[in-house]
């Protein structure tokens, strides 16, 4: 049994191919006692976004634009070291990468259609302001003689 939970779905029928994921393991800081000195539990997952064939071209361009600040030579890197076991860190890194790509490839939101404020609402607001100012003006003791 391989242990990894299958293909990581980005969105719809598109998923990350296992062959294009590059894994690197190193010693992680944090809890683990004496065991931490001998095990490579930190996971670094690299995905060549610029060179992949797994994503549709439109999605790839969108992701390259949105993740431009995170990319190094067209490669996106995700690190995970929060768990003590390498396997759980691998899961966390892969899930994080899939979520990052899902967000980066999402279509842009629909443009907002401007709407006019109904005249009645504006008139009511002005009427309430006038009432409030009258109330406050009535509180001042100027007229009392």
- For 4-13, write each residue's pLDDT tens digit: 455 677 776 7
Helix 57-66 crosses helix 86-105 at what angle (to 10 degrees)?
100
Task: Determine the pLDDT at residue 124.
Answer: 96
**Integer Cα distance of 55 and 17 in angstroms:** 10
Using CA atoms, how far apart are residues 88 and 95, in angstroms rounded to an integer?
11
Which pLDDT does position 65 carry in this prediction? 85
89-139: pLDDT as tens digits: 888 888 888 888 888 888 888 999 999 989 999 999 999 999 999 999 888
Integer Cα distance of 67 and 141 in angstroms = 64
Pairing state between β 14-16 and 75-80: unpaired
């Amino acid at each position: 049994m391989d242990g990894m939970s299958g293909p990581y779905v980005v969105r719809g029928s598109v998923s990350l191919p296992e062959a294009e994921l590059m894994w690197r393991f190193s010693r992680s800081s944090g809890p683990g006692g004496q065991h931490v000195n001998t095990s490579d539990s930190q996971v670094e997952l690299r995905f060549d976004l610029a060179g992949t064939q797994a994503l549709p071209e439109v999605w790839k361009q969108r992701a390259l634009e949105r993740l431009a600040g995170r990319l190094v030579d067209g490669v996106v890197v995700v690190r995970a070291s929060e768990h003590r076991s390498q396997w759980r860190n691998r899961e966390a890194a892969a899930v994080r990468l899939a979520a990052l790509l899902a967000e980066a490839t999402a279509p842009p939101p629909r443009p907002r259609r401007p709407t006019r404020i109904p005249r009645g609402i504006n008139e009511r607001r002005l009427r309430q302001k006038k009432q409030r100012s009258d109330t406050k003006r009535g509180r001042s003791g100027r007229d009392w003689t």
